[in-house]
A and B are shown apart, each in its own frame.
Chain A
């Protein structure tokens, strides 16, 4: 008999607190997180326009990360906390 040890990471439960989603986007302010990939700003502009035209969003503003590989930096988080109700973020090519 041979005994083997598991090389993979055991998952430890982590609590993540989510803000409740707004029931409606009408009148809300939405941040758009540009991940710096080519054309990501254009895609987000279109998404922002749809959010305004079809969902009644009051205001959108684009925030640009340092690069696609890193999380949104502190200044973005601070700004979002101060004046926004929701945000759109994603990653992809």
Chain B
């Protein structure tokens, strides 16, 4: 092997012992891991053409340098194929970006996971799921790429549940939370192009996020009809005005209904912005905002987010079924924002 790996080494008898050893060391997420042997780690680094000591990200608040070698070890453990490594690296760069602000979502009682949205050709090459059972199991790339990122957060950054990671409830997306946009069937501008990349570039967008909140509408055949239901679900579905951003996942049926009405992502965002506002009076009555209700509070409206651009619209999910989902981001006061990084190959 050409590369020199400097991580501490341990010897065990066989694969079974290796898996058990990783549990004992506290290195896993509660599921068995693939033993991180020097050969497997070397292959991971080679696939991404990274030197082991190269810094992928630096988490300022934790004063932690995340090296390519550590990312590779955790990617092996998560079950990634070597060709997934570039996506994991881009995601690690994303959570290391100051705008993502690791110290909040990596530690908070709010229990955010890292929603990863993969765009561009690599999503199809790696078969990252953009269709049926979008957030569920069944796709190796979707399950292991997100798992690798969470293992990096656990093992390198120290976000261990109950210690630095103090999520009160957490959610299953903290195991893995990776989707692709269905660019092949979507009539709309892909997320990464909206965020300044070219269509042929591959990117990962990382967003600190709650779980998906599913919305159902089988009655409407207009954009306004479908989006009225989604907006009503969103209006109070998160923390009603605390989250800096939301991801909105529009699956096949709703996507076709909205597109047939001639609406693009811009119109969706504006409609949702206009129809998800709460009166201060309602927020006070329901104990989301402190203080006694004043007469003016009845007509004083608080938008869900600062700008329509804080809604990330993603076309994904199965072709059949009248469902969409909204995913509230984490934190308040724009404390953590979604970050998009190119997958370098």
Contacts and interface: CB of A to CB of B under 8 A. Distances in A.
Contact of B336 (A4, A8, A14, A69): A69
A47 B92 CA distance: 40
Interface string B195-237: 0000000000000000000000000000000000000000000
Contacts of B155: 7-9
Contacts of A40: none
Given A69-B108, A69-B335, A10 B7 contact: yes
Nearest to A66: B333
Interface in A1-32: 1-10, 14
Contact of B73 (A3, A5, A14, A71): A5
Contacts of B65: 9
Contacts of A38: 290
Contacts of B286: none
A11 to B, nearest CB: 9
B36 A2 contact: no
A6 B9 contact: yes
Interface stretch (B16-24, B249-257, B270-278, B295-303): B16-24
Given A7-B77, A7-B155, A68-B104, A2 B18 contact: yes
B332 A67 contact: yes
Given A7-B77, A7-B156, A9-B64, A1 B332 contact: no
Nearest to B61: A71
Nearest to B73: A7
A70 B18 contact: no
A72 to B, nearest CB: 12
Contacts of B133: none
Contacts of B2: none
Given A2-B14, A8-B155, A14 B63 contact: yes
A71 B62 CA distance: 11
B41 interface: yes
Interface in B145-191: 151, 155-158
Contact of B36 (A5, A14, A69): A5
Q: State the 9 A-B residue pairs at the shortest beta-carbon distance, nearest first.
A: A69-B104, A6-B8, A67-B335, A67-B333, A5-B7, A7-B155, A7-B73, A69-B335, A9-B156
Given A38-B290, A67-B331, A69-B104, A5 B109 contact: no
A1 to B, nearest CB: 6
Nearest to B40: A5
A6 B212 CA distance: 34
Interface of B: 5, 7-15, 17-18, 21-22, 27, 35-38, 41, 61, 63-66, 69-70, 73-74, 77, 101, 103-105, 108-109, 151, 155-158, 290, 331-336
B11 A3 contact: yes
Interface residues of A, number: 20
Given A2-B14, A4-B12, A9-B158, A68 B335 contact: yes
Secondary structure at the A interface, as helix, strand, loop or mixed, is: loop
Given A67-B332, A69-B104, A71-B61, A4 B13 contact: no
Contacts of B9: 3-6
Contact of B109 (A6, A9, A93): A93
Contacts of B77: 7
A4 B156 contact: no
Interface string A52-84: 000000000000001111110000000000000
A3 B7 contact: no
Nearest to A5: B7
A4 B333 contact: no
Interface string A33-44: 000101000000
Contacts of B74: 7
A93 B111 CA distance: 14
In this complex, the member of B105, B331, B334, B335 whose beta carbon has the largest number of chain A beta carbons within 10 angstroms is: B335
A71 B61 CA distance: 8
